[in-house]
Amino acid sequence: MAKGSKEPKLATWKFWGDELRERRDALGWTQDELGKKVFVSGTYIGQLETAFRRPQLELSIRLDQILQTDGIFERVYRNLIEMLPYAQYFKHVAHLETVATKICEFAPTVVPGLLQSAEYARAVTIAANPFVTQEYVEETVTSRMDRSTIMAGPTRPEYWVILHENVLRVEVGGPAVMAEQLEQIAARVRAGEVLVTVIPYAAGAHASMAGMLTLLEFENEPPAGYTETAFSGMLLDDPEVVKRAQRAYDLLRVAALSPTASLALIDSAAEDYRRCARTT
């Protein structure tokens, strides 16, 4: 949920990791040795020290106890985590997006956040939160637009998206908003910023009937995944689970139309909405 402040820069989180490495080195412990003392792997400690992973509160507290650091890791964690404008379950995934080299998403009902226009994001937010203030709505939209800036510039990740045809047909915010949203997606496809394919209704059952799926790849770390429902999300980092998620995504690719046919379908749906908007 939006809180009106932007996500801390990676360098800010790196302070937490640098401090951990310095405290560990001062005691002469290896990453594996510290990991055993706080019940995680040495690899996990290494990922914390490089700011690839963000710590959890319970681990921060255990580190303070083991390293005798008078609560510094807990305090820094609490200060930084409160700065994140996302739901608690999504905070770590939003961070992983900023360091990913490749992002693959499957969206069964809603345009993925990284592709949403401001008006579409606003309509989705209001539909899910009809009694919140306008300030809350605008903060949420702003945080989503800020998040999408990772797709700008030469260091942006390779971005693949599979949309179910539901995403094109469920009208969000009215025909004008839908036309603008689909036209924006089509423009980004043509600009080479994203590869989008669509699973048509005619494909029937598919490999991710339970909901959305995101896969993330990194330069020097193992891949991860993420699934989400309306009220919670789950980071997938167990190698076997990620492998199963990757297989599901491969099956989704097989069920989708070709990129050319998908773009034509998006263009057609956008034109239908645009025509409807002109007559209302």
Instruction: Kindly report the pTM of this predicted structure.
Output: 0.73
Alpha-carbon Rg for the chain, nearest whole angstrom, is 21
Q: What is Dmax (Cα atoms) for the chain?
A: 73
pLDDT tens for the 280 residues of the chain, in order: 333 344 444 556 678 888 899 999 999 999 999 999 999 999 989 988 887 777 778 889 999 999 999 888 888 877 766 555 565 656 678 778 888 999 999 999 999 999 999 999 999 999 999 998 999 899 889 888 988 888 887 788 999 999 999 999 999 999 999 999 999 999 999 999 999 999 999 999 999 998 999 999 998 888 999 998 777 888 898 899 999 999 999 999 999 999 999 999 999 999 999 999 998 7
Q: How many CB atoms lie within 10 A of CB 15?
A: 13
Name the phi and psi angles at 135, rounded to 5.
-60, -45
Q: Give the integer Cα–Cα distance in Å for 111 and 243.
A: 25
Tokens (6 digits) for 19 = 């401090």
To 5 degrees, how large is the angle CA 96–CA 98–CA 99? 70
Contact partners, residue 209, CB within 8 Å, separation at least 6: none
Q: Give the integer Cα–Cα distance in Å for 10 and 158.
A: 20
Nearest C-alpha neighbor of 259 from the set 208, 213, 199? 199
Contact partners, residue 74, CB within 8 Å, separation at least 6: 57, 60, 61, 64
Nearest C-alpha neighbor of 265 from the set 193, 203, 174? 203
Q: Which domains does the chain have, with CATH numbers?
A: 10-81 (1.10.260.40), 88-278 (3.30.870)
